[in-house]
């Protein structure tokens, strides 16, 4: 006895396998497209060649020293334009504004004396990458002269701060700065003699 109904044709197994493979590939492509783009190699303070995020992390010590040195060099300037340009070479965003306003504002009101840094030493730090930026907890010490005219004080201070270095303006720059500690316990004093060799602080004979 035969049936008038015709069974539905079965889809060949190779076609089903091909559809499954295509779905897997599409899912993988969507996952790949959803990943954050890697930061390209960019110039960084103190480095001769551009570096990507991994390279920046590996050079964290040297980059940090270069940033601090540039900041102190900018702070030694007495013209607002020179201060800003010096800071902008290594800083951007909130960090640039914060540092510039601190130095330029104090300079305008006479709140800071002339200063010259002789030695800068990074005494400790940790560096890590997070969200495409380098976060650093650092400690450093500086020895320099501050004062006016013939009265010069040799001062040694130690500091601790939290830094963020991120892509800005086509380069790795300081974008976050928070001072967490200041230690002036090693401060000393040096009096510069006048041109005739006399000590300006000595009592008259």
HEC letters along the chain: CCCCCCCCCCCCHHHHHHHHHHHHHHHHHHHHHHCCCCCCCECCCCCCCCECHHHHHHCHHHHHHHHHHHHHHHHCCCCHHHHHHHHHCCECHHHHHHHHHHHHHHHHHCCCCEEEEEEEEEEEEEEEEECCEEEEEEEEEEEEEEEECCEEEEEEEEEEEEEEEEEECCEEEEEEEEEEEEECCCCCCCCCCCCCCCCCCCCCC
Is residue 17, in this structure, part of any structural domain at all?
A: no
Nearest-angstrom CA–CA distance, 115 and 109: 16
Domain count, the chain: 1
Rounded to an integer, the average pLDDT of 72-87 is 92
Name the pTM for this structure.
0.70
Task: Name the token pair of 118.
Answer: 């002789």
Looking at residue 184, what is its pLDDT?
Answer: 77
Is residue 100, in this structure, part of any structural domain at all?
A: yes
Looking at residue 118, what is its pLDDT?
Answer: 80
Which domain does 151 fall in, by range?
53-183
Is residue 109, in this structure, part of any structural domain at all?
A: yes
Task: Name the token pair of 179.
Answer: 């001072």
Reported as a single tens digit per residue, the pLDDT across 120-163 is 999 999 999 999 999 999 999 988 766 655 566 667 889 999 99
Is residue 58, in this structure, part of any structural domain at all?
A: yes
Is residue 190, in this structure, part of any structural domain at all?
A: no
The segment with the largest mean pLDDT, out of 29-38, 69-78, 102-111, 148-157, is: 69-78
Is residue 205, in this structure, part of any structural domain at all?
A: no
At residue 46 the predicted structure's pLDDT band, cuts being 50, 70 and 90, is very high
Is residue 31, in this structure, part of any structural domain at all?
A: no
Given a cut of 80, is residue 27 above it in pLDDT?
no
Is residue 16, in this structure, part of any structural domain at all?
A: no
At residue 21 the predicted structure's pLDDT band, cuts being 50, 70 and 90, is low
CATH of the domain at 178: 3.10.450.50
């Amino acid at each position: 006895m035969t049936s008038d109904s015709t069974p539905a044709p079965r889809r060949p197994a190779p076609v089903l396998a091909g559809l499954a493979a295509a779905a897997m590939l599409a899912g993988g492509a969507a996952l790949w497209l959803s990943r954050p783009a890697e930061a390209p190699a960019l110039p960084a303070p103190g480095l001769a060649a551009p570096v990507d995020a991994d390279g920046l992390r590996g050079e964290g010590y040297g980059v940090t020293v270069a940033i601090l040195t540039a900041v102190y060099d900018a702070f030694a300037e007495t013209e607002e334009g020179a201060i800003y340009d010096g800071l902008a070479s290594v800083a951007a965003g909130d960090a640039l504004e914060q540092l510039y306003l601190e130095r330029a504002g104090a300079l305008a009101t006479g709140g800071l004396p002339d200063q010259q840094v002789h030695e800068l030493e990074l005494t400790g730090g940790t560096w890590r990458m997070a969200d495409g930026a380098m976060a650093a907890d650092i400690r450093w010490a500086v020895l320099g002269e501050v004062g006016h005219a013939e009265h010069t004080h040799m001062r040694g201070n130690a500091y601790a701060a939290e830094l963020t270095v991120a892509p800005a303006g086509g380069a790795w720059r300081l974008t976050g700065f928070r001072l967490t500690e200041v230690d002036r316990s090693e401060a000393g004093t040096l009096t510069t003699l006048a041109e005739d060799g006399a000590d300006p602080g000595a009592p008259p004979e």
